[in-house]
A and B are shown apart, each in its own frame.
Chain A
Amino acid sequence: MSDINIQHLANLAQLALSPAEVETVTADLNRIIAMVDQMQAMDTSGVAPLAHPLDARQRLRPDEITEVIDRELYQAGAPSTEDGLYLVPRVVE
């Protein structure tokens, strides 16, 4: 059974888990990782990874402005704004 450090993962994922949640999620993750560990039995030497199902390459477009930014519309549903800026708790004292 792999040694999963749930607290470390939660920190990376910016999730706060209650002590009860830590217990159940650890158990869940142990079961899930035990299941995915089945992959290790398969021989994949010499196989290239498949990131995009059609092995496509990222398409680029001309560097032209084609969009119109409607800040008022886009910020209409924001939790907290002022003068077009998004407000969050003070970061730097």
Chain B
Amino acid sequence: MDSNASLSELIRGLQAAEFSSVELTRDYLQRISRANGDLNAFITVCEESALAQAERADQKRAAGAGTALCGIPMAYKDIFCTKGEKTTCGSKMLADFVAPYDATAVAHLKSAGVVMLGKTNMDEFAMGSSNENSFFGAVANPWDHDRVAGGSSGGSACAVTAGLAAATLGTDTGGSIRQPAAFCGVSGLKPTYGRISRYGMVAFASSLDQAGIFAASAADIARVLPFIAGVDPKDSTSSDHEDGWLNLHRDQALQPAGSGRIGLPREYFRDLGVTDATLQATCRTLEAAGFTLRDVSLPHVDAAIPCYYIIAGAEASTNLSRYDGVRYGYRCENPQSLEDLYRRSRSEGFGTEVKRRILTGTYALSVGYYDAYYLKAQKIRRLIQQDFLTAFNDVDLILAPTTPDVAFRRGDLLDDPVAMYQQDIYTIPASLAGLPAISIPAGEHQGLPLGVQLIGPHFAESTLLETAAAFQRETDWHRRRPGGTD
């Protein structure tokens, strides 16, 4: 079977009994075993259980039952709790942790008949923009193994590019789906905050974290989203927003949009640098496809990075305080006292970037600094959100670069945390505002993929996906793979 078959093609093939889920799953497992040594996209591969799931899926289809996704092999970022299989979060702290329950998103896909190939590599506790911060080693970019795959969902992005899964789940807090999607030349969606339950998704920054999907195209992403979106009583931040469009798309393929108004933020477009040619070409393609472009402004967007790193750091310092060596996770040897147990378990279990973020957050929340940092950041957050809501009075979507450049070389930014944080310059604002955003491949520079980002109003995933589909009907960037195979 073609390793670059799209999810939509695989759904059709399974429905037409052109191949079985067992055959499909075996193919993916073989490719994983050949490629994972170099790419390191997977932390855990679940060969036996995947084949068992595939067999059950085949039986279900033979009986005339099963959803569209029945028998489709996917992989999940190792931040999603999976009952009976390890969930490591890319960290020594959870290196041997086996969750006693499935994350809601995982449970939904399981009951839809999806086959779980394994758990993908990630920056530790979702903190990073390169997937170099994993206890299990870095993920290589399939386009150039000396370059980063992006982060924190590097493994999930890489797996789709390299044909190691039909689609994958990732998470995005400040760009951790969109940026690796751009670096790896695949499509990646961060839905509206609250769209997908965070139950069983290890928490980094609770007001920013969102589960999302990587696949070869917007059309493929639209096949998966309806199954994992929805309110969950176990996540009180999940939204009960009713969405008939999603229900419709459990069985129906995505239709490209024919028109729309797209905003170009002048704060971005006045200085695009390396991404200029790609953004200009994208504008021409969208215009030719029937979209109108207009100038918009996001005046407070320059403060997004400091605002994000305070809020995310503060929330992370609180969320990671549960790792104390007492009930689960890493415990140091021969603790001499309770304090020694806490301190050494945490210091030995966490990597450097995680400690940096915890300390940044502790500082921002400490007595005397709370108002100047955390409260200030929350006010800036509202101003940034208001900028978007104002722009959406005049346009349906906003177009932006995803990243400032192509994937950088491994090791280049490891010594400079602030330079690493600048990688998220275009992705952070949508995270702060809780808005849905998708990155799609749109160009190339020095043989490496470049993505562009579409950002929509809250709950406008339909507009985002349909517009992305219109772009992908007119272009073939999303079909390109390393080595030139189509």
Residues A12-58 near B (CB distance < 8 A): 12-17, 21, 25, 28-29, 31-33, 35-40, 42, 44, 47-54, 56, 58
Main secondary structure of the interface of A (DSSP, over half): loop
- The minimal Cβ–Cβ distance linking B436 to chain A, given in whole angstroms, is 11
Docked complex Cα distance between A39 and B363 (Å): 15
Selected contact of A44 from candidates B309, B359, B376, CB within 8 Å = B376
Specify the chain A residue showing the minimal Cβ separation from B98: A77
Selected contact of A47 from candidates B98, B343, B383, CB within 8 Å = B383
| B377 CB contacts on chain A under 8 angstroms | 36, 39
| A39 CB contacts on chain B under 8 angstroms | 303, 306-307, 310, 373, 376-377, 380
Docked complex Cα distance between A6 and B364 (Å): 13
| B96 CB contacts on chain A under 8 angstroms | 77
Q: How many contacts between A and B, using CB within 8 angstroms?
A: 160
| B375 CB contacts on chain A under 8 angstroms | 49
| B305 CB contacts on chain A under 8 angstroms | 35
Do A91 and B338 have beta carbons less than 8 Å apart? yes
Interface string of B349-368 (1 = CB under 8 A from A): 01000011011101110100
Docked complex Cα distance between A69 and B97 (Å): 19
For residue B445, CB closer than 8 A to chain A, the reply is no
Do B207 and A53 have beta carbons less than 8 Å apart? yes
Main secondary structure of the interface of B (DSSP, over half): helix
Docked complex Cα distance between A15 and B363 (Å): 13
Stretch at the interface among B45-53, B320-328, B397-405, B464-472: B320-328
Specify the chain B residue showing the minimal Cβ separation from A32: B360
Task: Report if A32-B380 is in contact (Cβ < 8 Å); known contacts: A4-B363, A14-B346, A25-B356.
Answer: no
Do A47 and B379 have beta carbons less than 8 Å apart? yes
Do A51 and B207 have beta carbons less than 8 Å apart? yes
Selected contact of B417 from candidates A16, A21, A31, CB within 8 Å = A31
Task: Report if A53-B336 is in contact (Cβ < 8 Å); known contacts: A13-B317, A28-B356.
Answer: no
| A58 CB contacts on chain B under 8 angstroms | 236
Interface string of B312-342 (1 = CB under 8 A from A): 0000010001001111100100011111111
Docked complex Cα distance between A29 and B360 (Å): 7
For residue B385, CB closer than 8 A to chain A, the reply is yes
Specify the chain A residue showing the minimal Cβ separation from B233: A61
| B416 CB contacts on chain A under 8 angstroms | 31
- The minimal Cβ–Cβ distance linking B323 to chain A, given in whole angstroms, is 10
Do A53 and B193 have beta carbons less than 8 Å apart? yes
Do A36 and B310 have beta carbons less than 8 Å apart? yes
For residue B418, CB closer than 8 A to chain A, the reply is yes
**Contact residues of B with A, CB < 8 Å?**
96-98, 100, 193-194, 207, 233, 236-237, 239, 300, 302-303, 305-307, 309-310, 317, 321, 324-328, 331, 335-344, 346-347, 350, 355-356, 358-360, 362-364, 366, 372-373, 375-383, 385, 416-418, 421, 432-435, 458
Q: Rank and list the top 3 A-B pairs by shortest CB-CB distance, nearest first.
A: A53-B434, A49-B378, A50-B382
Q: 8 A-B Cβ contacts within 8 A?
A: A12-B362, A15-B358, A31-B416, A36-B310, A39-B303, A42-B300, A48-B379, A53-B433
